[in-house]
Structure 1
Amino acid sequence: MQTRGSGTGVLLDEPTWTARRAAHEARVDAWVQPHLERRRAGLPHPVEDFLFTYYSQRPAGLRRWHPGYGVVLAGAEEYLPVKGYAAVPGGAAVSARHLAAQRPVLESLHRLLGATASRAPQLGCFGMHEWAMVYRQDQEQVRHAAWPLRLGPDGTDGVVESHRIACSHFDAFRFFTDAARPRNLLQPGRDDRPAFEQPGCLHAGMDLYKHAFRLTPLVASELVADCFELAREIRVLDMRASPYDLSALGYSPVRVETAEGKQEYVAAQRAFAERGAPLRQRLVEELARLLSVEVPAAGE
């Protein structure tokens, strides 16, 4: 049951918030536990483990449930030692002091996500970023060296050389090989993401998860999990369209070097852009809400 707290926000009684926490933990355990089992066994997975190894959020962080800013958890003393929380009338809640400290991050993400959402999706990259990351490298040099290149090094290089490369995402572009970097029509930088990012980019879609968990515990964990779920599916397309042969893992290739493969890729890319738009909008709205809160300079 939720009620209005005495000037402190929405109050969730203990049965309500513990049920939400249990539902969140059960949902994410389907993703977290297989990853932890593979890690213990020393069996890395280039698709399923990516969100845990590339991004800085630990599995335990994804699993920990938060209600978001403005919600008081009744009888939740266990949350008091958690970073960002404080005791308030009725229970525990994310503190105004923590909100104030995060304002620069909130403002930066609001600019980035708002700028990205304002653009039409661009769907003509055909996933060439993954090909540019292995351009002119031998099998032993590539990032996922345990998995063969479908077309071999020479065939892979030929695909790069015969395609227009227009990657708009800095965190993909920065992994291009030195030989591939000048071939990109765009030269995105670390500090100019709002000028380049667009909603058709697979990596911009996956990064919705990164932006969401950076806002923890200010946003509800259900939103973070929704972004993770989308990112996980995008990663499958990302690697199916890559130069790697992952058929041994059950992934059929999207042969973007062919006309048919390009059509398949664009259709999937468009679908992910459509699914990512409401998640991006939810993040923008949450950021606007948080930025609208008047926090005393002294904190609490």
Structure 2
Amino acid sequence: MTPPAPELLDQDTWQAREAAHHERVDRYAVPYLARRSVGRKHPVEDFLFTYYTQKPGQLRRWHPGAGVVLRGQGAAERLDWRFYRPHPGAGVGLDAGQFLAQRRKAVDFARVILGRTAARPAQFGCFGLHEWAMVYRQEANQVRHEYLDLRLGPAGTDAVVEESRIRCTHFDAYRFYTPQAAGLNELRPTRENQRDLEQPGCLHANMDLYKWAYKLSPALPSELVMDCFELSWRIRAMDMQASPYDLAEWGYPPIPIETAAGKADYVARQRAFSAEAEVLRARLSEALDRLDAAP
């Protein structure tokens, strides 16, 4: 089958997209870098830059994605960037063949995770208890965010865990449970069974759409990566609002999941994020299809 012709972008068009991307990233990255320079922490707004491995400078670098060729003299500098090559008579774009030769396992794993997660029914009964299980029966100086107060105090936090059904499906949340809490989870997520447990109601699975997007850079358009980033950013805010920590002074009022009203609020927001993630998950899968078909 003849591969589709690449999309050609003139220099004014792609440089405008590049500038818009820089502005979009800087809204998040510049405050983070300013805090980091003076040793300040933020429990919500630092997370995507500290937990995930993508650095602000890497996120800021704009890529058009597979199947797109950039025209004009300004594109020539990308010949020094990894996975770019000249397209004779057209311009500069991704070398899809080289990318797939080196990153095939990552592409295939992402495709499996995205597809299997999308195919499962969403579960909406976790109520964010993973964050509570991460501090269960911990001394104040052992809590993960030691500079934050627990909204209900240690005893009240432990009581919520003990009175709740905990059924986390996400390994990268479960692995941070305290030893005392791990046995309370009804499932045993592992890296090996991750592809069999991920489900589209999980906040962390939906946050991780950002991870799959940047791990496949530069083969994905940066606009899609940032769409995933911004969803993850908003999910993180909700995740911490529903956590046992008191973030009111940080501008994040609590979602009191220990109450019926708080649980209802949590589920409503969780469902909305799941619907947004469904669209992004499909777009990521379509981008992988374009990568396989790219010249």
TM-score greater than 0.5 by the shorter chain:
yes
Q: Does 1:36 align with 2:37?
A: no
Q: Name the structure 2 match of 1:64.
A: 61
1:21-47 Cα offsets, whole Å, 9 max, x none, are 001111111111111111112111010
1:84 aligns with 2:80: no
- Taking the TM superposition and a 5 Å limit, the aligned residue runs for 1:257-268 are 257-268=258-269
User: Which whole-Å CA distance do the structure 2 matches of 1:245 and 1:116 have between them?
Assistant: 32
Asked if the contact 2:149/2:246 (under 8 Å) is kept, the reply is yes
3-state SS of 1:51 partner:
helix
Aligned counterpart, 2:14: 17
For the residue of structure 1 that corresponds to 2:224, the secondary structure is: helix
What secondary structure does 1:76 align onto?
helix
* Runs of 4+ residues deviating >4 angstroms: none
Query: How does 1:96-135 map onto structure 2 within 5 Å?
Result: 96-135=97-136
1:94 aligns with 2:94: yes
Question: Which whole-Å CA distance do the structure 2 matches of 1:87 and 1:64 have between them?
Answer: 19
Kept in 2: contact 1:150–1:245 (CA 8 A): yes
Structure 1-normalised TM-score? Answer: 0.93
- Secondary structure, counterpart of 2:130 in structure 1: helix
Using the TM superposition, give the Cα deviation of residue 100 of structure 1 relative to its aligned residue in structure 2, in angstroms: 2.4
Instruction: Assess if the C-alpha contact under 8 Å between 2:214 and 2:225 holds in 1.
Output: yes
- Cα offset, 1:248, TM superposition: 1.1
Task: Give the deviation of 1:292 after TM superposition.
Answer: 4.4
The amino acid of 2:94's aligned partner reads V
Which amino acid in the other structure matches residue 91 of structure 1? G
User: 1:8·1:72 contact (CA, 8 Å) conserved in 2?
Assistant: no
For 2:183, what is the secondary structure of its paired residue?
A: helix
- Percent sequence identity is 55
Instruction: Determine the C-alpha separation between the residues in 2 that align with 1:72 and 1:198.
Output: 36
**8 Å contact from structure 1 (residues 116, 199) kept in 2:** yes
Worse overlay, 9-18 or 260-269: 9-18
- The residue matched to 2:85 in structure 1 has which SS? strand
Give the whole-Å Cα distance in 1 for the aligned partners of 2:28 and 2:42. Answer: 13
Cα offsets for 1:123-173 (capped at 9, x unmatched): 000000000000110111011010000111111111100000000000000
- Counterpart Cα distance in 2 of 1:13 and 1:36: 33
**3-state SS of paired residue (2:211):** helix
Partner SS state of residue 32, structure 1: helix
Residue 220 of structure 2 aligns to which amino acid in structure 1?
A: V
Q: CA deviation at 1:64?
A: 0.6
Note if contact 1:116-1:198 (Cα within 8 Å) is conserved in structure 2.
yes
How far the C-alpha of 1:63 sits from its partner, in A, is: 0.7
Q: 1:1-300 maps to which residues of 2 (within 5 A)?
A: 9-74=6-71, 75-89=74-88, 90-95=90-95, 96-292=97-293
Kindly provide the amino acid, as one letter, of the partner of residue 75 in structure 2.
A
Secondary structure of residue in 2 paired with 1:69: coil
CA distance in structure 1 between the partners assigned to 2:123 and 2:292 by the alignment: 30
How far apart in 2 are the matches of 1:144 and 1:234?
A: 18
CA contact (8 A) 1:103 1:291 kept: no
User: Which amino acid letter does the alignment assign opposite residue 78 of structure 1?
Assistant: E
Unpaired stretches in structure 2, ≥5 consecutive residues: none
Taking the aligned partners of 1:87 and 1:270, their CA distance within structure 2 comes to 44
Alpha-carbon distance in 1 for matches of 2:198, 2:100: 26
Q: Report the TM-score when normalising by structure 2.
A: 0.95
Q: Which segment is superposed worse, 8-17 or 218-227?
A: 8-17
Would you say the 8 A contact 2:157–2:244 is kept in 1?
yes
Q: Aligned partners of 1:255, 1:26: CA distance in 2, in Å?
A: 35
Give the Cα–Cα distance (whole angstroms) in 2 for the partners of residues 101 and 153 of structure 1: 48
Which deviations, in whole Å up to 9, do the C-alpha atoms of 1:233-262 show, x marking residues without a partner? Answer: 000100000000011101110000111110
Equivalent-residue separation in structure 2 for 1:88 and 1:154 (angstroms): 64
Give the drift of 1:88. Answer: 2.2
Give the distance between the partners of 2:69 and 2:146, measured in 1 at CA: 49
Residue segments in structure 1 that go unaligned for 5+ positions in a row: 1-5, 294-299
State which drifts further: 279-288 or 84-93: 84-93
